[in-house]
Structure 1
């Protein structure tokens, strides 16, 4: 009989799964904890009847995430300011998981990018769970159907719809090399305070969103347009002259971590499409920066 301690090794995989479904480490931890609690609450006979405990944990974690996603819209409405998914370092346990096939490595890495996680936010809860289980982790549709309580045919339809949204969201994205080149120019312009140079690399319809979670100062609404975004960024830099902005590699490509007096103040990720910076995402919510400390 498998006991709770015997299944502790499944935790990292469950965390990777739940993070991609929910978008924050804290929510993923809660979902995984609830999954283990449900296993622990089974009687000895019930646990003995489970032929594949690891698969049972995955099914239950998926259902827990599905329930959380169902209530997420209400929680988002109560959130102070803009809500963004939590960026995580490449070395974070939730960012790493063994792909079902080496050819899927790019898909797995990309699945923790801010750009893709924002696209996944636009999916229905069922679409998101099915997409993560099948397209990211390679779970067969028969097993996906058990996890989400749908037929395999219905899960295929959900995956097709989700894949279309994801494909549309990724269609204009630049290559990693071009992304990093433009983001480096973006950083140089910010460092020198050159508004003209900065607006040159920004798309005319660029959008900046910052997440403070109501705990630190952040723009309550998106800032849009090259001139407004450029002035907003340079204004932030002038307000915090002692802060340092250091380059980091993120799942989106080159990004930045901001320190002030040795404290992580922000993580900045950038979206690039059509040879211009189209999105600037600034994470300032301290609850979503713990992995970077």
Structure 2
């Protein structure tokens, strides 16, 4: 049981005869996966999303439940406001991050991949695009395009007028559309490309590797200054292949990460790297290698997401 849910259960236990406390707990637990997903898509960090959920619970527990007509809407509003506050602080911290910053990878269940829109929205490629938005633009985009909230609801969540939110949504939509992958790739095609990639790397087959990665492929490695990683993007098939050629001692396991097929690399039995890919035109155009140990705790167990 996670901390916010445990706190909610504790409140219920202390207030067994209090209908308001029970209603608050039931609503929070019922919408927890949604709230976590909202926070994660805004922050790109599961640990920060969990902190936001704790802050959301503390504020939600103080709300007079008799005055709440739509628990989901109010919970999303509270979560969004808390996430916005944290996002503004994180944006300043990420400016001093050592090397490329990548989102914290999540081991996800097959049902996330079946929800095409949800899987796309939590993919490494799209989360990196969302990083290029201003905090309010990111919140508006996530709430509108991923969760389908109305402009009025979003306006209340971000503290802007409905007219302003419409303008922000239009601007953010155009920004993301210009930068996200140009085509939607089926899980089956992704698995096939990833299997060919894995075989080429494991066997040291340079020709086979060059057949599955694009000439202008980009590799981003996130070590966070804690473990060895390239401090700048590695660009071009030959240079990327040179880096990947050093991975022959690792063991590879296919997994569902952020709703898409990915690889988990282990050395000495321990998780060393999570490797996600971006596919376009049948070729791998982007590789995202998360090595920062502080970001690998969520790939040991599935994380539930929801809309």
With normalisation by structure 2, the TM-score equals 0.82
- With over 3 angstroms needed to count, the CA separation of the structure-2 counterparts of 1:260 and 1:161, relative to structure 1, is same
Structure-2 residue corresponding to 1:157: 167
Give 5+ residue unaligned stretches, structure 2: 1-18, 301-307
CA contact (8 A) 1:174 1:274 kept: no
Show CA shifts across 1:133-171 (max 9, x none). Answer: 111111111111100111112112222222223322345
Structure-1 residue corresponding to 2:128: 118
CA contact (8 A) 2:28 2:57 kept: no
- With over 3 angstroms needed to count, the CA separation of the structure-2 counterparts of 1:247 and 1:53, relative to structure 1, is closer
Structure-2 residue corresponding to 1:106: 116
Show CA shifts across 1:81-113 (max 9, x none). Answer: 211011212229xx96xxxxxxx9321221111
Structure-2 residue corresponding to 1:246: 253
* TM-superposed deviation, 1:229: 0.5
The 5 Å alignment of 1:225-264 reads 225-237=236-248, 241=249, 243-251=250-258, 253-264=260-271
Structure-2 residue corresponding to 1:175: 185
2:51 & 2:240 partners in 1: Cα distance? 36
**Count of residues in correspondence between the two structures:** 278
* TM-superposed deviation, 1:174: 5.4
CA contact (8 A) 2:39 2:52 kept: yes
Structure-2 residue corresponding to 1:2: 20
CA contact (8 A) 1:174 1:275 kept: no
CA contact (8 A) 2:105 2:299 kept: no
Structure 1 stretch displaced more, 185-194 or 141-150: 185-194
Structure-1 residue corresponding to 2:10: none
* Segments ≥4 residues shifted beyond 4 Å: none
**Alignment pair present for 1:189 and 2:189:** no
* TM-superposed deviation, 1:58: 1.4
Aligned partner (choices 62, 82, 88) of residue 100 of structure 2: 82
- With over 3 angstroms needed to count, the CA separation of the structure-2 counterparts of 1:122 and 1:223, relative to structure 1, is same
Determine helix, strand or coil for the equivalent of 2:104: coil
- With over 3 angstroms needed to count, the CA separation of the structure-2 counterparts of 1:248 and 1:105, relative to structure 1, is closer
CA contact (8 A) 1:252 1:271 kept: no
- With over 3 angstroms needed to count, the CA separation of the structure-2 counterparts of 1:265 and 1:171, relative to structure 1, is closer
Determine helix, strand or coil for the equivalent of 2:49: helix
**Alignment pair present for 1:224 and 2:244:** no
Show CA shifts across 1:183-210 (max 9, x none). Answer: 2222121111122321232222211111
2:241 & 2:259 partners in 1: Cα distance? 21
Structure 1 stretch displaced more, 247-256 or 135-144: 247-256
Determine helix, strand or coil for the equivalent of 1:78: coil
2:234 & 2:142 partners in 1: Cα distance? 30
Determine helix, strand or coil for the equivalent of 1:172: coil
* TM-superposed deviation, 1:178: 3.7
Query: Root-mean-square deviation (CA), in Å?
Result: 2.4
**Alignment pair present for 1:11 and 2:32:** yes
Give 5+ residue unaligned stretches, structure 1: 97-103
CA contact (8 A) 1:114 1:252 kept: no
**Alignment pair present for 1:270 and 2:277:** yes
- Relative contact order, higher structure (CA 8 A, sep 6+): 2
Determine helix, strand or coil for the equivalent of 2:100: coil
Aligned partner (choices 130, 136, 142) of residue 132 of structure 1: 142
With normalisation by structure 1, the TM-score equals 0.86
